[in-house]
């Protein structure tokens, strides 16, 4: 049997999928790791935890499949984007990695906006300054830990660090590097050196860029011994987790869109040519099939659900089944209780690190399960709002919408999405689309398919389609007409709260 290994090195752990040349998942497993929160708004991880998790996830998946690794024809990695770590010449981390959802670099972002200008940076990179992007995290290290900054030989993304551990090569992918905020969005395999210079960074400390699917190196002898697999297995340039997830949903046509119901909720589609939007209604990713990928994100996605469970349930066992059954009994519209899911700031359309979550419509009839349904409906409302921005900017109509990620396991939530979007929405046979996207890249690299697009269209299978219920659609239309303008009326005051308290969510 010939197989490939696709990895998703996400916010909370590494998932490994073993996939045969027909696109069938042979086995999967995962290994988790912790996050650290040393200060409000800070989020960090130990890069060595990524490597140990990758090793353990692979070993567990191979054991499930009763394989020893000799059948692996190629490896590729999807990863949590923006997360960055400086390393020395030997690849040793000089500090903990700063995660994508870390908000410590507000001052650096504000400086770039004032001194360089959003338009200049956006037109060169596809990304206006924001606290999520890697370059501004590197600026924070420069300004606050100059000794570490001086020692930095390379700044590596999660993908890059794991590629280095596998192969000894410090290389990245154009589909991984977009959210550094300093990629040349037109040339894709080059850094925007003028922006890097203007930010006061050094271009030579960022790794060489390759197209997704290109072979970056082979598994080294030392890595093979640690992993328990043969050396020499090719490692293909991978992708950021969201474009990989879109690929794993076969989003390779302009009328198709994916919604990842993960830690952050991410909407992504594709364009056949570069199209910047001066109104910032999306930012541009790069789909591994060789397509530009308009994207928008709710930073507080299923992490908002985690927050809810952590604070309202002492016993976590069986909680999702309890919640699923409870919200079925609550009518659509939730008796008016609604949330705006900015628990972790807001990107499109506000680009405001001081944005915060809002709950409105409380009454004495509401209980804790109504709050849960408010989270589900509020995120779906926000997804609709972001999709409308993308439609306005691209002029495209989206006839196929695919839900993936952990949240797509909830049938209640999938139906809410169909009703609020007033579109059929589909789920997949393999809900772990991100790791599957990495496997699709590996299938192309292994020669199972001629192109990444061909691999995606052949391998991805739909599990179920949810149709909108007309009476629910009408109710949600009325509620959405209120929702879509609500935050605009209070956004300045909410942002002031963050400035007054010094806490940026």
281 and 348 Cβ atoms separated by less than 8 Å:
yes
pLDDT in tens, 347-384: 899 989 899 999 999 999 999 999 999 999 999 999 99
Give dist(CA 352, CA 175) in Å, integer: 25
57 and 115 Cβ atoms separated by less than 8 Å:
no
In sequence order, the 6+-apart residues with CB closer than 8 A to the CB of 375 are 304, 305, 308, 339, 341
Task: Write the CA distances from 465 to 69, 418, 461, integer angstroms.
Answer: 36, 9, 12
The domains found in the chain, sorted by start residue, are: 3-243 (3.30.420.40), 302-387+481-499 (3.30.420.40)
By C-alpha distance, which of 62, 67, 427 is closest to 261? 427
Give dist(CA 294, CA 274) in Å, integer: 10
Give dist(CA 430, CA 413) in Å, integer: 17
- Pure H helices in 356-429: 368-394, 411-421
Complete DSSP assignment for 18-54 = EEETTS-EEEEEEEE---B-SSTT--EE-HHHHHHHH
**What is the pLDDT confidence band of residue 432, given thresholds at 50, 70 and 90?**
confident
Q: Is pLDDT above 90 for 458?
A: yes
DSSP-derived letter for residue 358 is E
Give dist(CA 78, CA 247) in Å, integer: 11
Q: 139 is written with which tokens?
A: 């600026």
Task: Write the CA distances from 127 to 196, 271, 295, 495, integer angstroms.
Answer: 13, 16, 11, 22
24 and 32 Cβ atoms separated by less than 8 Å:
no
pLDDT at 365: 96
Whole-model pTM: value is: 0.91
DSSP-derived letter for residue 469 is P
pLDDT in tens, 164-191: 999 999 999 999 999 999 999 999 999 9
pLDDT in tens, 249-284: 999 999 999 999 988 899 999 999 999 999 989 989
């Amino acid at each position: 049997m010939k197989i490939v290994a696709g990895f998703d090195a996400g916010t909370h752990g590494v998932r490994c999928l073993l996939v045969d040349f027909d696109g069938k998942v042979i086995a999967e497993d995962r290994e988790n790791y912790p996050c650290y929160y040393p200060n409000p708004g800070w989020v960090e991880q130990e890069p060595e935890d990524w490597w140990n998790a990758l090793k353990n996830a692979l070993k567990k998946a191979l054991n499930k499949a009763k394989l020893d690794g000799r059948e692996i024809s190629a490896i590729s990695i999807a990863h949590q984007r923006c997360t960055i770590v400086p390393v020395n010449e030997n690849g040793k981390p000089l500090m903990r990695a700063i995660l994508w959802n870390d908000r410590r670099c507000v001052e650096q972002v504000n400086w770039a906006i004032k001194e360089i200008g959003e338009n200049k940076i956006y037109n060169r990179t596809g990304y206006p300054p924001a606290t999520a992007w890697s370059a501004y995290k590197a600026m924070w290290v420069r300004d606050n830990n100059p000794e570490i900054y001086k020692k930095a030989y390379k700044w590596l993304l999660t993908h890059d660090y794991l590629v280095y551990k596998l192969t000894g090569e410090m290389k990245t992918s154009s589909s991984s590097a977009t959210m550094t905020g300093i990629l040349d969005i037109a040339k894709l395999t080059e850094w925007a050196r003028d922006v890097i210079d203007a930010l006061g960074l050094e271009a030579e400390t960022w790794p060489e860029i390759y197209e997704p699917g290109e072979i970056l190196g082979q598994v080294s002898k030392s890595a093979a011994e640690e992993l328990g697999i043969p050396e020499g297995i090719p490692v293909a340039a991978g992708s950021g987790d969201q474009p990989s997830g879109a690929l794993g949903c076969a989003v390779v046509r302009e009328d198709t869109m994916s919604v990842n119901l993960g830690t952050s909720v991410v909407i992504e589609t594709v364009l056949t040519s570069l199209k910047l939007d001066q109104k910032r209604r999306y930012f541009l990713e790069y789909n591994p099939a060789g397509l530009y990928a308009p994207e928008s994100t709710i930073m507080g996605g299923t992490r908002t659900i985690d927050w809810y469970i952590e604070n309202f349930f002492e016993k976590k066992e069986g909680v999702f089944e309890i919640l699923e059954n409870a919200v079925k009994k609550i009518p659509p519209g939730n008796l008016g209780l609604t949330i705006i899911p900015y628990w972790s700031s807001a990107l499109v359309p506000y680009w405001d690190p001081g944005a915060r979550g809002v709950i409105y419509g409380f009454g004495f009839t509401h209980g804790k399960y109504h709050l849960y349904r408010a989270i589900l409906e509020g995120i779906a409302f926000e997804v609709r709002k972001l999709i409308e921005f993308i439609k306005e900017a691209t002029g495209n109509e989206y006839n196929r919408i695919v839900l993936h990620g952990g949240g797509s396991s909830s049938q209640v939530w999938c139906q809410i999405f169909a009703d609020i979007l007033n579109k059929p929405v589909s789920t997949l046979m393999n809900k772990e689309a991100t790791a599957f996207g990495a496997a699709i890249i590996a299938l192309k690299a292994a020669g199972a398919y001629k192109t990444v697009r061909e691999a995606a269209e052949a391998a991805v299978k739909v599990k179920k389609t949810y149709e909108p219920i007309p009476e629910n659609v009408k109710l949600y239309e009325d509620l959405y007409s209120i929702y879509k303008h609500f935050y605009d009326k209070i956004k300045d005051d909410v942002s002031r709260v963050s400035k007054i308290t010094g806490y940026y969510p």
